[in-house]
Amino acid sequence: MQGLSFTFSAAILFLFLCLQLGIIESQDNETVRKPVLFDLHVPSTAEANQEISVKLRLQTQYEECMVVKAYLVSSVPMEGAFNYAQTHCLCIDFNITLFWDFEVIETLTFAIVVDIVNEWNICPYDMAVVPITGNRYLTYRTVYMN
């Protein structure tokens, strides 16, 4: 009877180890999908009163679509396209490219902000999602005056 108990315990221990290794391996293979990926192009320098272009390409790794609102923020007052917020539907199979053209009158540090918002009639069938956390993404850039 003792031999059977030892064999039974060893089999359970072996089965437990196999299950643990399988769980750990499957967790390692899972990747965390990111709601918003930035591909940003901003010149680092400009001449006085030169108009520059900011190009922002947005992608998502989410299977679901989401409504994004993108805009620029600066401590220096700016006019024109700098103040325009752009709202679009972002889906895994449909990337968005946004442009802002504005005149630089002095060295300027600004933020590019992308908010995931809950707005109707932007995405088809109103099937857009909003993540529970992490619904604002931003990055800072500086354009130096030559």
Report the pLDDT value the prediction gives residue 26, as an integer from 0 to 100: 46
- Quick one: what percent of the chain has pLDDT higher than 90? 50
Q: Average pLDDT in the 67-89 region?
A: 88
pLDDT band at 130 (very low <50, low <70, confident <90, very high): confident
Q: Average pLDDT in the 91-115 region?
A: 93
Beta bridge partners of 76: none
Higher pLDDT, 17 or 120: 120
Q: Hey, where are the domains in the chain?
A: 1-30, 37-145
What is the Cα–Cα distance from 109 to 141, expressed in whole angstroms? 6
Range from 13-22, 51-60, 76-85 that averages highest in pLDDT? 51-60
- Answer CATH for 37-145 from 3.30.70.100, 3.40.50.1100, 2.60.40.10, 1.20.1050.10: 2.60.40.10
| Cβ neighbours of 42 (radius 10 Å) | 16
